[in-house]
């Protein structure tokens, strides 16, 4: 029953979120409609970090317990994380052009996110290049752990790199800006809607992966006859 | 454990000394990269001073990764890897032995690379020979800890020549940034102490990855 209601609830929530973004939420004073991309951008970036953190935990879980479900979870989370990371960077670029007048700037957060994307693309490629099985799970778990541990180091180094050595501060990040309460509420609703969407995707992806692996095992059994 | 690691290191060094091809190919690769930079970049001293730190460490990374690819390759012949794993050596000492070999290799290369680099690019670099060698040691420690882990991990993997740099270089971004900025400050005459924060970050990177790589290495090396 739940597996029928849950996707429906996610769908309704997302549609409601979309409606509220364009109908009810106020347009930002200086940016106008452009700012509305924030409701896609911020949840995507949040989900990126959530997904990679899940992948990190599942990787530790796999090396500890050696149960395949952790490996499946790590793989699924990493794939969805890469997807949202790419969406986050893309929407950020689209947003950056009208507001910062550039698609890309070597800002600390942008750079960290880009490096994170590269690390986890490497992680997925590693999975592609190693034959499925116990070895793939072990190798991927190791990369999932050391990759995530690097995030604070990368971020710290990039912050220093940009803040100590930047000659121009044309594009200051807007974190000090006072956020209008309406916008803040809208943002929270979007984050909630996308997080639910993420949960649904993750459940689907885990099921698919389980089915795929079961199928591969069955085929291998048939071939050994 | 240290004795086991030293035994493994001695074996590898003996093998390397017997045929210097590994070391020589790495060194000449570094020279070729320097040549490419010399042709591709403008030839005035001012821009060389600006670019020297970056060029130096990029050369270091590109030639260093060659040795990482070779590090476990020698054990692949005649199934030496299985013998190594079956032997009473602990995984930790295999890691330390291989890592030490890599560090000795790269530092030996640096001893020759620094004069060559100052010859081709930036003469003033030679006057900082010993501090730069010290800095190389600290950078190399982080590079080798993470590199040995990932080098061991990619030994069995298809397309490992592509996969290793793809995995390693993004993770090394903090290391590269710190190394470049510290070398800048060395060249400008301010010394390493002027960028103490970066030095701390670099040492922190080394320690974190030395410990983590040492701990997870046993999961990479399972029979």
Parent domain of A144 = 33-167+181-223
pLDDT tens for A115-156 read 999 999 999 999 999 988 899 999 999 999 999 999 888 888
Chains A, B: CB contacts within 8 A come to 81
Contacts of B187 (CB under 8 A, 6+ apart): B49, B52, B53, B122, B124, B125, B128
CB A149, CB A119: distance < 8 Å: no
How many structural domains are present in chain A? 1
Residue A190 in any domain: the answer is yes
pTM for the structure as a whole: 0.89
Give me the helix-helix angle, B196-220 and B91-120, nearest 10°: 140
For chain A (225 residues), the mean pLDDT of every run of 10, in chain order, is 83 89 76 82 93 96 94 96 95 87 83 92 94 91 93 86 52 51 84 93 94 93 86
Task: Say which of A142, A153, A156 has its CB closest to residue B153.
Answer: A142
What are the distances in angstroms from CA B2 to CA A178, B35, B214?
57, 40, 13
Residues 54-93 of chain A with CB under 8 A from chain B are 63
Q: How far is CA B90 from the centre of its chain?
A: 24
Residue A52 in any domain: the answer is yes
Query: Taking CB atoms and an 8 Å limit, are B170 and A118 in contact across chains?
Result: yes
Provide the pLDDT for residue A50.
95
Residue A111 in any domain: the answer is yes
Give the residue carrying structure tokens 């032997």. Answer: B87
How many Å apart are CA A113 and CA A165, to the nearest integer? 20
pLDDT tens for B182-218 read 999 998 888 788 888 899 999 999 999 999 999 999 9
Task: Say which of B158, B178, B212 has its CB closest to residue A129.
Answer: B158
What count of other Cβ atoms lies within 10 Å of the Cβ of residue B51? 16
Minimal C-alpha gap between A82 and chain B (Å): 15
Q: Considering chain B, what percentage of its residues have pLDDT values greater than 70?
A: 100
What are the distances in angstroms from CA B213 to CA A142, B91, B141?
9, 11, 12
The angle subtended at Cα A61 by Cα A56 and Cα A66, nearest 5°, is: 130
pLDDT band at B159 (very low <50, low <70, confident <90, very high): confident
Residue A19 in any domain: the answer is no
Q: What is the DSSP code (8-state) at residue B121?
A: T
ipTM over the 0.90 cut-off: no
Mean per-residue pLDDT, B108-129 = 88
């Amino acid at each position: 029953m739940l597996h029928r209601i849950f996707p429906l609830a996610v769908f309704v929530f997302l549609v409601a979120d979309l409606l509220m973004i364009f109908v009810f939420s106020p347009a930002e004073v200086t940016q106008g409609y452009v700012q509305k991309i924030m409701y896609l951008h911020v949840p995507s970036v949040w989900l990126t970090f959530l997904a990679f953190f899940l992948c990190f935990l599942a990787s530790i879980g796999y090396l500890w317990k050696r149960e395949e479900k952790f490996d499946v979870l790590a793989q699924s989370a990493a794939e969805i994380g890469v997807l949202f990371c790419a969406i986050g960077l893309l929407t950020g670029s689209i947003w950056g052009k009208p507001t910062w007048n550039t698609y890309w700037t070597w800002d600390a957060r942008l750079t960290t996110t880009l490096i994170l994307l590269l690390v986890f693309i490497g992680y997925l490629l590693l999975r592609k290049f190693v034959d499925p099985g116990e070895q793939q799970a072990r190798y991927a778990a190791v990369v999932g752990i050391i990759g995530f541990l690097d995030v604070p180091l990368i971020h710290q180094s990039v912050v220093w790199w940009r803040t100590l050595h930047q000659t121009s501060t044309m594009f200051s990040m807007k974190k000090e800006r006072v956020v209008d309460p309406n916008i803040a509420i809208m943002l929270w609703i979007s984050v909630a809607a996308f997080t639910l969407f993420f949960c649904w995707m993750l459940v689907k992806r885990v099921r698919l992966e389980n089915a795929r692996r079961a199928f591969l095992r069955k085929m291998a059994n048939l071939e050994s006859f | 454990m240290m004795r086991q690691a030293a035994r493994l290191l001695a074996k590898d060094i003996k093998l390397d000394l017997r045929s210097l091809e590994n070391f020589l190919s790495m060194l000449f690769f570094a020279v070729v990269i320097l040549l490419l930079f010399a042709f591709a970049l403008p030839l005035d001293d001012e821009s060389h001073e600006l670019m020297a730190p970056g060029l130096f460490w990029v050369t270091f990374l590109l030639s260093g990764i060659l040795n990482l690819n070779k590090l476990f390759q020698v054990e692949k012949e005649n199934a030496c890897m299985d013998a190594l794993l079956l032997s009473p050596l602990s995984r930790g000492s295999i890691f330390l032995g291989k890592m030490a070999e890599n560090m000795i290799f790269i530092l030996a290369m640096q001893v020759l690379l620094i004069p060559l680099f100052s010859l081709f690019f930036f003469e003033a670099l030679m006057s900082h020979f010993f501090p730069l060698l010290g800095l190389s040691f600290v950078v190399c420690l982080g590079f080798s800890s993470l590199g040995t882990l990932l080098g061991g991990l990619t030994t069995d993997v298809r397309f490992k020549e592509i996969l290793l740099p793809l995995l390693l270089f993004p993770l090394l971004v903090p290391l590269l940034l710190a190394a470049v900025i510290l070398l800048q400050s060395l060249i400008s005459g301010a010394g390493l102490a002027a960028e103490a924060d970066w030095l701390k970050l670099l040492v922190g990177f080394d320690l974190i990855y030395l410990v983590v790589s040492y701990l997870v290495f046993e999961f990479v090396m399972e029979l």
